[in-house]
Chain A
Amino acid sequence: MKTIALIGNPNVGKSVLFYRLTGSYATVSNYPGTTVEISRGRANILGKLYTVYDTPGMYSFSPFTEEEKVTRRLLMEQSPDLVIHVADAKNLPRMLPLTIELINAGFAVILVLNMIDEAEKAGVYIRKNELARRLKIPVLEAAFLRGRGILQLKKAIAKLSSGLVMQKAQPAKEHYLVSKAARCLQGSYPFSKEMMARLCLEEDPEAVKLAKQQETREALDCLAAYVRAAGELPDWEMPLMRYRQAESILAGLYLVRGKKKKDGLLEKATLDPLGGLLITALVIYFGLYLFVGRFGAGVLVALLEEKILGGIVIPAVTGWLEKVLPAGALLDILTGEFGIVTMALRYILGIILPVTGTFFLVFALLEDSGYLPRLAFFADSLMRRIGLNGRAVIPLALGFGCGTMGVLVTRTLESRRERLLASFLLAAAIPCSAQLGLIMALLAGEPIYLLFWALVVAVVFFLAGKLLDCLLPGSRTPYFMELPPLRLPGLYALLKKTFARMYWYLKEVMPVFTLIAVLLWLLQQAKLLQVLIFFLQKAAASLGLPPETAGVFLYGFFRRDYGAAGLWELHRTGAVSGSRLLVASVVLTLFLPCSAQLAVMVRERGIIAALTIAACTALIAYTAGFLLNLLLRLPVF
């Protein structure tokens, strides 16, 4: 099967196209760096099957961030038969250099001028036929979001791949050092020799490694001489040459008619500190507090958990199971104290899902409007104090949805140090949506406590960040970010994304909860559970918490959301309230990252870092709870 890779700058519509071609959903949001992993799908294009890859955005063949490296690795390792370069039409001058790089690397390329609707509105006109003649590749206009240009693209793909080998365009002239260095190379490479030579001249580690495997001593010596010569050149010489090439190819073909319109009021307000603060306050109050906290975690949970599940569904299912199953282990695991039906299903569908669902909806609105990169812009000066830059706001904000997503998206940060810092903060001081929503609902009765909780978590966030910033060697990288235009989110896209995430969440959570039910049952049978609970009760008592909270912390070991749901239930039975509820909320928020997040941390940061982070968060949670308990015991409270 032939393979197609969708390549392009960040935020140009690659994931929209992926969905249109394959029918499988990839997250689409209005900010650069949404996609951080390769998605693979199948497309039936005019009767023929293809494998299609959606990739993280990349600016050039010389990557900066992890997610750019992911894309380049795909190009290197999979050598796709066809590359579709998706570009934002109105910004074509900035995107064309990548088209030239792709052609020069030896790929068969189709250039798509996407978002042509926005270009037209802005008065941009591109003479695409002439551009196609000059580049010697197909150039198409499209607005994938509106379904425009899909058929033409499919036809172009079919036509290009009808031959045995896909037809390739003539590469543009390379820098003379690159051409000379390319002549040293003898091996066979996934990219053209010129591209390999260029990457070697840039001392790109992956390219150098490949060359060392493939080349003889003499060839490497020959190459080394040019690497030295290239080291003498100013760093901007080669990139600038590519820009000039792109400029001359585009000369006379990219026309802007009419006067540029001024930025709207909203556009201005979102970049103004006061306006930004106001918008953020509105988002927190209406979006988080009222919609997620009061409506999702309050009204919806009461309806689903108490009325529908607790009142009708679960008694019915349990009764039926008791009738059809013999008493014994299986029945116990299904309907016992920690049973899959009695507890796991009720917690997931009744308590957690309404909260995460409402959160995902609000968050999708923020993502699709283009608010997040603007928030990042404001927060840059705050983030600077803890060794990060504004970019880190995006993974941290995603962490409020689910810590696992947050850790994955730290790939968009430039240095290892920043990725480590952000992963640590995500584990230690960012509550996930289930925790956030349920804690808001729990403490809503006493707003002072809610403020107190937020304050403690914020203080821990900054102290932990500050401390780690001092401990880790190195310094922050400067902040750069493209600000996408504000876009009006579409209702269909919002719902699609929310449901896709809820589905993903359920799929991730179900097996874990089943496992927990089985594990707890086993521990209970082996009489180990009682021992565990005993120690946890001791720990809880030292925080001034009643013994019932031990169970909640036990769930918290596995999943944060489970712990939060447990606390919610405990509150309903009246076992914790007032200042104890506050202490328990704080400890649970700061408590261990959940098992899924830990697994992703191990994969992305390595096992040592992941376990160290986990141990630190447990310590922080306990210390914070201990101090808070002492403080609340003071006579002033």
Chain B
Amino acid sequence: MPALLNLLQMPVGKTGKIVELATENRTILKKLLALGIVPGLYVTLLRNYPGIVIQTGFTTVALDRTAAVFILVCPEA
């Protein structure tokens, strides 16, 4: 099994499955869950500059680094 990466470590264009939302910060966590960013979801990293942009299904979400660092994904081979 490949190592887990957070979104900041993932190369642009790569897709991975969210494994964990590794934060103790309840607000961030609940916000991610409300937007539908939940473990088990496949996300593609579209951009990492100037901010993080990810795509899941037909949804594009922009977020800043402080939140992206908590999203741990298992990249697809």
- Which positions in A face B, CB cutoff 8 Å? 59-60, 62, 64, 90-91, 93-94, 97, 122, 124, 235-236, 239-240, 243, 263, 271, 273, 373, 376-378, 380-381, 384, 389-390, 414, 477-483, 485
Instruction: Kindly list chain B residues whose C-beta atoms are within 8 Å of the C-beta of A380.
Output: 50-51, 62, 64
A interface footprint on B51-76 (CB within 8 Å = 1, 0 otherwise): 10100011111111011000000000
- 10 further contact pairs, Cβ within 8 A, besides A376-B62, A479-B63: A59-B35, A91-B58, A235-B26, A236-B38, A239-B34, A273-B50, A479-B67, A480-B32, A481-B61, A482-B59
In the assembled complex, the CB of A378 is this many whole angstroms from the nearest CB of chain B, namely 6
Please judge, given known A-B contacts A235-B26, A273-B49, A378-B50, whether A483 and B38 are in contact too, CB under 8 Å. no
A483 pairs with B33, CB closer than 8 A = no
A64–B62 Cα distance when bound, in Å, is: 17
**Which one of A59, A60, A122, A479 lies within 8 Å of B64 (CB-CB)?**
A479
Instruction: Kindly list chain A residues whose C-beta atoms are within 8 Å of the C-beta of B66.
Output: 478
Most chain B CB within a 10 A radius of its CB, from A97, A236, A378: A236
List the A residue with the shortest CB-CB distance to B67: A478
B33 pairs with A236, CB closer than 8 A = yes
Main secondary structure of the interface of B (DSSP, over half): mixed
Most chain A CB within a 10 A radius of its CB, from B38, B49, B66: B38
A478–B26 Cα distance when bound, in Å, is: 12
State how many residues of chain B have any CB contact under 8 Å with chain A: 31
Instruction: Kindly list chain A residues whose C-beta atoms are within 8 Å of the C-beta of B30.
Output: 62, 64, 235, 239
A239–B39 Cα distance when bound, in Å, is: 11
Q: List 28 A-B contacts (CB under 8 A).
A: A62-B34, A64-B30, A93-B57, A94-B36, A94-B57, A235-B30, A236-B21, A236-B38, A236-B39, A240-B33, A240-B39, A243-B40, A263-B46, A273-B49, A377-B50, A390-B51, A390-B62, A414-B27, A478-B28, A478-B31, A478-B66, A478-B67, A479-B51, A479-B62, A480-B32, A482-B62, A483-B61, A485-B60
Q: Is B5 an interface residue (CB 8 A)?
A: no
**Which one of A64, A378, A384, A485 lies within 8 Å of B31 (CB-CB)?**
A64
In the assembled complex, the CB of B65 is this many whole angstroms from the nearest CB of chain A, namely 9
In the assembled complex, the CB of A462 is this many whole angstroms from the nearest CB of chain B, namely 18
**Which one of B33, B36, B47, B63 lies within 8 Å of A271 (CB-CB)?**
B47
A291–B24 Cα distance when bound, in Å, is: 50
In the assembled complex, the CB of A234 is this many whole angstroms from the nearest CB of chain B, namely 9
List the B residue with the shortest CB-CB distance to A376: B62
A122–B59 Cα distance when bound, in Å, is: 12
Instruction: Kindly list chain B residues whose C-beta atoms are within 8 Å of the C-beta of A64.
Output: 27, 30-31, 34
In the assembled complex, the CB of A266 is this many whole angstroms from the nearest CB of chain B, namely 14
A380–B36 Cα distance when bound, in Å, is: 22
Instruction: Kindly list chain A residues whose C-beta atoms are within 8 Å of the C-beta of B64.
Output: 380, 384, 389-390, 478-480
Within 8 A of A (CB), among B1-30: 21, 26-30
**Which one of B35, B38, B39 lies within 8 Å of A480 (CB-CB)?**
B35
Instruction: Kindly list chain A residues whose C-beta atoms are within 8 Å of the C-beta of B21.
Output: 236
A91–B31 Cα distance when bound, in Å, is: 18
Most chain B CB within a 10 A radius of its CB, from A122, A376, A480: A480
Instruction: Kindly list chain B residues whose C-beta atoms are within 8 Å of the C-beta of A389.
Output: 64
Please judge, given known A-B contacts A236-B29, A240-B33, whether A381 and B50 are in contact too, CB under 8 Å. yes
Instruction: Kindly list chain A residues whose C-beta atoms are within 8 Å of the C-beta of B40.
Output: 243
In the assembled complex, the CB of B19 is this many whole angstroms from the nearest CB of chain A, namely 12
Instruction: Kindly list chain A residues whose C-beta atoms are within 8 Å of the C-beta of B36.
Output: 93-94, 97, 243
